[in-house]
Structures are given as structure tokens and as C-alpha cells.
Amino acid sequence: MFSLVLSVFSPFTSITKQAKMENESKALDVPDWCKFCKASVERGFNIVYEDASFLAFEDRKPASRHHYLVVPKQHIESVRLLKSSDVDLVKNMEIIGHTILSNLDVPISMRVMGFHIPPFNSVYHLHLHVQGLPYRSARSASKYLIRPGFGGYSKGLSWFVEISQAIQILERRNFVGVLPC
């Protein structure tokens, strides 16, 4: 049974050298098709934070009472392409998320932050979901299920990785995927 699961998810379990090289070259270019690379007030984004490296804006289809996206200005396709050298980038995104939610007086216990893992993401530009609960519906909540790790894994089988799980995985020099990692 487990081999069947592995065969179904095998495209999501590892990153090829070619994909890594493509990501490095893409980081230098701004793709014409990437709506988050071009995020601005003029393009309809409600921007709540901006600095030299990051941008944060309200989610167009909020799943929770407060729902924001934090994106790096540098184009990075997804959480699957992050490496251990990207831990500081992820930690900075987390700090921005906590700052936004703190300004809204959202208690720590009512915060969820994480990334959807391809192919379960809608935009191919790294974006951290920053949410102040409650969720608007059970359907909305189901898109952000957090599966705890087991054994030597930081997370279980899931299409969403919580921010602290992502940091732990990257610090261990692993890659974030749908399967336990």
C-alpha cells in the first residue's frame, strides 16, 4: 500500500538538479506571467506591508477572519524549491506575518502561517499564508490542514506545511514536499 502511495506522489518527493538550476535562473528574471511579481495598489492589491525584500497584501479570497500573503520580491516559484540557505528568508517572512497579526491584536493561539505545496498551490510565486482565525467555513479550513510529523519527520502527509515545520525541514537540509519530510 505504501509503495502505491509513493508511486502516486513520486513526482512530488524530490527536486531534480534541473529544477534547482531552473529556479536559480528564474530568481534573476521576473516572469511576465507572475501576478505576485507585479503586485501593486494600481493592480488591485491591498498592500499592508512593504520593504526592500518583501511585500504583504490581503488575500483576494480570505479563508479566515484575517488572511494575508507575504511574498518575497525576488521571484521564487514555490516552497519546494527552497534550500537550507533560504531559512533566513522564511524566518523573515514569519516575522512580517507575526507583525501584521500583532498589529491586529490576533492572539498567538489564533494564528496559522504556512505554505501550500505544489501542485496544491494556485500561484507559482512563493507566498506565506498569514491567517488570524477563525476560518470562515469548514471548507476553508480544510485547505490549511497541518499534519504533525512522526518519527524523524517534521510534517506528515499533507499539501500544507506550517511555517515552523518548513523551517525545521530546511534546517535539516531537506526539501519540503507533500509526503512526510
50 located within any domain: yes
- Answer whether residue 28 is part of any domain: yes
Number of domains in the chain: 1
Percent of the chain with pLDDT over 90: 82
- Full residue range of the structural domain in which residue 151 is found: 2-171
Core vs surface per residue 82-118: b (16+ CB within 10 A) or e = beeebbebbeebbebbbebbeeeebeeeebbbbbbbb
Determine, yes or no, domain membership for 78. yes
Residues 132-178: tens digit of each pLDDT = 999 999 999 999 999 999 999 999 999 999 999 999 999 999 999 99
pLDDT at 21 over 70: no
What mean pLDDT do residues 5-32 have?
Answer: 47
* 41 inside domain: yes
Please state, in angstroms and rounded to a whole number, the distance separating the CA atoms of residues 108 and 87.
Answer: 21
Domain membership of residue 180 (yes or no) is no
Domain membership flag for residue 148: yes
Per the annotation, the verdict on 116 as an active-site residue is no
The reported pLDDT for the residue numbered 31 is: 81
pLDDT for 94 equals 99
Find out whether 122 and 160 touch, Cβ atoms under 8 Å: no
Residue 120 lies in a domain: yes
Give percent helix, percent strand, percent coil of the chain, each to the nearest 5.
35, 20, 45
Predicted local confidence at residue 29, as pLDDT = 64
Q: Residue 32 has what pLDDT?
A: 82
pLDDT, tens only, 164-177: 999 999 999 999 99
b (16+ CB within 10 A) / e for 31-58: eeebebbebeeeeebeebbeeeebbbbe
The answer for residues whose C-beta is within 8 angstroms of residue 143's C-beta and 6 or more apart is: 63, 116, 160
CATH number of the domain encompassing residue 165: 3.30.428.10
Calculate the average pLDDT of the chain.
88
Residue 176 lies in a domain: no
Instruction: Look up the pTM and report it.
Output: 0.83
pLDDT, tens only, 34-64: 999 999 999 999 999 999 999 999 999 999 9
Q: Is 130 helix (H, G, I), strand (E, B) or coil?
A: strand
**Catalytic, out of 75, 125, 127, 129:** 127
Predicted confidence at residue 13, as pLDDT, reads 39
Q: What does the pLDDT average to over 68-72?
A: 99
Task: For 76-131, write each residue's pLDDT tens digit.
Answer: 999 999 999 999 999 999 999 999 999 999 999 999 999 999 999 999 999 999 99
